[in-house]
Structure 1
């Protein structure tokens, strides 16, 4: 069961997700400033062929990075569509907010998500299905169901929630997304550069939707505006109004966030992690800690600590929203146990709703992981300069 607690912390509306009583995600709700998922009429200011990219201005002074190895570009000012040129007016969507010194990133592969499906300009005529849906019969049924809605202009990605959903609800949503997509393309052709065509959505709705809550799950908040925004959902939403003890205190929110900002994480077996986030990458060191170093069952102890660390590494990546390159230095073991460890780590990484990939176990005994960058990390929100 999941419980989502939303309350104020350090002048920021903050959400903490508990799964079976354990905190697994911390989100700061962007009230203003985030342009993630917004769709704009943008103008190409500069093309840089040697890095296969362009810089697109979406609003006065807001210049974004656009990879131009994309085939699916919606040009709004000319019919010749062989390549992106300076001065082109194009329809783009923000896929990454500005992170540290990096510009926002945009794409021409528009994507609009619903609860069960997402319509994608990248998947022309293709029906993709979430890898978390494993029933082959249901996969075939879903593809057949949506085939009539896909065209040469767009396709669909079936989300995990569709697996047990009513087919009519899925079709109704697909048709709604088709109409919305076609309206966006039509309206944008009549708008000047720097026009915001579609806002990314209500930040609270987007955040809660990404948590994949079900009917048996619960949201509890002491913020009336958030309660009102979520009150019509299928899961339980409660407004906390106890004046004797604050919601933040009841769920120990301050300690949870402070622990997630600490570089040290203790493990149950006495080992601990040291997490160092830098501009270039994140390094996680696994240490034996309170292990006494005796030779008896030493290898077995190392394996147990590493297996526990693998689970905790995945949880910390989600909790802190660490992204980019991650290097983990596990305790050295024999080759057979190393294989057991990497299998466990890969299984743990599959839990992440953000794209997270095991890359390699290097000759130096370091594990390389990459995690997709979407939002700022937790430490960026709560450092003194944030």
Structure 2
């Protein structure tokens, strides 16, 4: 299998998809829903506040077209007020979609932040000359813009051609200004969520242009369609015959780690470390979030620290916000993961 990074832009069952391959391993997968009308993370709505939630500090919102949103920390916001909100995460089941009044217009090189003025450069860019160059580009791109518009230059902009960065910021500025101009009116969708192909361009570091495959049927041609199909069933294979079953339920995602034929403590630790390393990838590919409970294979209690370290290292490098809660009295490990995506099985079943 080829080494390096490869991006495949393709379709699955008529839906646009993007697959990220690192050293021959499928590491990320984005698939657009076909006709799903539910609010998607990143979409911006003009909403009307409805009723405060008793005993809570949040308030329900009408997003239009029969959709409902929920705004936390809404003290002092009266019913009947119109405001712009952005979907934060996918709703849990039939619940209202969580929203935020802090809008972000994110592109490949920059993030425009209405009502959060100021210019900021990613800390990863440390060269002072480069930071000065990027600040100059940012000032030029925001020349004449409303003073309430802020800007964050992303780390991927380091060393990129000035014109490309300028055009990128300008496009996000225009998108922000167009949305803000529509702050008044009935509840409605103002800016749809970005597509799988656009998010791949925005968030995945570009390989060589020759390593971006746009040919229809690329997943099948390069042998990754079976890997996608494997994600629709619970088992995820690990090394030495071990495996873990990943099964979403109505309340949580249950993960059960199994050693296979070898039931020794040594095999248990080996399987648990492999599962901890691969779990972020599996959850990302399967589009799973919410409460996650892992039942690791039997191992000495002293080895729990090693497994937790492996979990923390794996999720630290993952792009989706995940809180590692810790061990339960029964020896399970609990996590809480942001619902940035719909479950892959749910997307492909429609």
TM-score category by the smaller chain? 0.7 to 0.9
CA distance in 1, matches of 2:54, 2:117: 26
The answer as to whether partners of 1:3 and 1:18 remain within 8 angstroms in 2 is yes
Which residue in 2 is equivalent to 1:55?
60
2:160 equivalent in structure 1: 165
Q: Would you say 1:356 and 2:325 are equivalent positions?
A: no
Q: CA deviation at 1:377?
A: 0.7
What is the alpha-carbon distance in structure 2 between the residues aligned to residue 374 and residue 364 of structure 1? 29
Provide TM-score, normalisation by structure 2: 0.82
Q: Which moved more, 1:56-65 or 1:159-168?
A: 159-168
Whether 2:44 is the aligned partner of 1:44: answer no
Deviations 1:150-187 (A, max 9, x none): 997343344341344356654664455345434432x2
Q: Given the two structures, how large is their TM-score scaled by the length of structure 1?
A: 0.75
Cα separation, partners in 2 of 1:205 and 1:258, compared to 1, 3 Å: closer
What is the SS of the residue equivalent to 2:239?
Answer: coil
Q: Is the 8 A contact 2:130 2:158 kept in 1?
A: no
Answer with 120-129 or 357-366: which moved more: 120-129
Structure 1 residues 222-301: aligned runs within 5 Å? 236-240=212-216, 247=218, 249-291=220-262, 293=264, 298-299=265-266, 301=267
Q: CA deviation at 1:348?
A: 1.0
- TM superposition shift of 1:85: 1.1
Residue 96 (structure 1) aligned with residue 63 (structure 2): no
Aligned length: 340
Gaps of 5+ in 1: 71-82, 219-234, 241-245
CA RMSD of aligned residues (A): 3.3
By how many angstroms is 1:118 displaced? 0.8
Unaligned regions of 5+ residues in structure 2, if any?
Answer: none
| Higher RCO (CA-CA < 8 Å; seq separation 6+) | 2
The 5 A counterparts of 1:1-386 are 1-33=4-36, 35-36=39-40, 37-69=42-74, 83-121=76-114, 123-125=116-118, 127=120, 129=122, 134=124, 136-137=126-127, 141=131, 145=135, 153-166=148-161, 169-170=164-165, 173-174=168-169, 176-185=171-180, 187-189=181-183, 191-201=184-194, 203-216=195-208, 236-240=212-216, 247=218, 249-291=220-262, 293=264, 298-299=265-266, 301-383=267-349, 386=350
Q: What whole-Å deviation, never above 9, does each CA across 1:253-296 have from its counterpart, x for those lacking one?
A: 55223311211222112211121211111111111212153xxx
On the 8 A contact 1:124/1:151 being kept in 2, the answer is no
Higher mean C-alpha displacement, 302-311 vs 108-117: 302-311
Distance in 2 separating the partners of 1:144 and 1:257:
39
In structure 2, do the counterparts of structure 1 residues 309 and 168 end up closer, same or farther at CA, with 3 Å as the change threshold?
same
Equivalent residue of 1:193, what SS? coil
- The 1:101/1:260 distance shift into structure 2, 3 A limit, reads same
